[in-house]
Amino acid sequence: MSNEQGPVAVITGAASGIGRGLAEHAATLGMRLVLADRDAAGLQALCDQLQASGVQAIACVTDVGDVTQVERLRDQAVEHFGGVDLLFNNAGVMQTGFSWEITEAQWQRMLDVNLNGVINGIRSFVPLLLSQGRTAHVINTASLAGLVSSPLMAPYNVTKQAVVALSETLHYELAMLGAPVSVSVLCPGPVASEIMASNQVVDTAGSDFSQLLDSTIRQGMTPAELAAQVFDAVAQKRFWILPHKGFKPAFERRVQSILGETNPQFQMADVEDDAHAAR
């Protein structure tokens, strides 16, 4: 990242949770920041805080599900800082409930933010990164749900597994071109955040699961701890970023189930183990 004034990082979903942790860590590394979120007040508060400490940062209210807004985000990054070195496609929302009870609008919201947000980020920024002719990195936030499915989380599982597939495909394509642009997919377990505030709870037995999930997330790894691991992985140009290790038994069971063509089994203890391991 050859920029005398410091690399430029674009971070979506920056106003809170993982995105805020990434922004604050990037600031300690002397990066210039382009911060995006739909939460205008939270985004501006973070931007003001960083600017007060001497960080070059701009805020751009963005709905990542709208490609024209993501293109505007790219254009503002170029206008203010001349280019982009790191792209964090990080914005995400949650939806729980039985698969058949989740409404069409709820499904669409998850697809728009969690999946189309990443697609729009790739389509808008990767041509720019390639045209710059210098080292750059794309980091897509998926989840352990991108590798292991859980009940009552169908839209989240579907979108996050799609993000993993898209990231791996992008990695192969850039390697085919011999491009200086690298890719990582971030698959964290519970990270302390307010993501469950975005959950439009379906009034069924699934609400008990939502409460348990919310508790597990709030007790998870801190965004600051996660961000440190992410930037370490980016420095090493690692594709897989797996901050939580407690998921491995569940992943091994899934692989064995696939290879053995046996029916899959879910154990809630796997999620809870990850939360305990992160404390």
Least confident of 129-133, 191-195, 229-233: 191-195
Please provide the distance, in angstroms rounded to a whole number, between the alpha carbons at the two ends of the chain: 34
Q: What is the pTM of this model?
A: 0.92
Give the Cα separation of 120 and 219 in Å (integer): 32
Q: What is the pLDDT of residue 32?
A: 98
pLDDT digits (tens, 9 = 90+) for 76-91: 999 999 999 999 999 9
Q: Which residue has the higher pLDDT, 196 or 121?
A: 121
pLDDT digits (tens, 9 = 90+) for 89-134: 999 999 999 999 999 999 999 999 999 999 999 999 999 999 999 9
Average of per-residue pLDDT values in the chain? 91
pLDDT digits (tens, 9 = 90+) for 133-150: 999 999 999 999 999 999
Whether 235 contacts 252, CB under 8 Å: no
Q: In which band, very low, low, confident or very high, does the pLDDT at 218 lie, cut at 50, 70 and 90?
A: low
Q: What is the largest CA-CA distance in the chain?
A: 57
In the CATH scheme, what architecture does the domain 8-278 have? 3-Layer(aba) Sandwich (3.40)
Q: What is the pLDDT of residue 229?
A: 98
Domain boundary assignment for the chain: 8-278
Q: What is the pLDDT of residue 277?
A: 40
Tokens of 228: 């440190």
Give the Cα separation of 194 and 225 in Å (integer): 16
Q: What is the pLDDT of residue 196?
A: 65
Q: What is the pLDDT of residue 2?
A: 39
pLDDT digits (tens, 9 = 90+) for 12-54: 999 999 999 999 999 999 999 999 999 999 999 999 999 999 9
Mean pLDDT of the region 250-270: 89
Least confident of 37-51, 167-181, 212-226: 212-226
Q: Which of 14, 31, 21 is nearest to 85 (CA)?
A: 31
Please determine, for residue 192, whether its predicted confidence score (pLDDT) is greater than 70: yes
Please determine, for residue 217, whether its predicted confidence score (pLDDT) is greater than 90: no
156, 209, 231, 247: the catalytic one is: 156
Q: Which of 201, 257, 230 is nearest to 142 (CA)?
A: 230
Active-site residue 156, yes or no?
A: yes
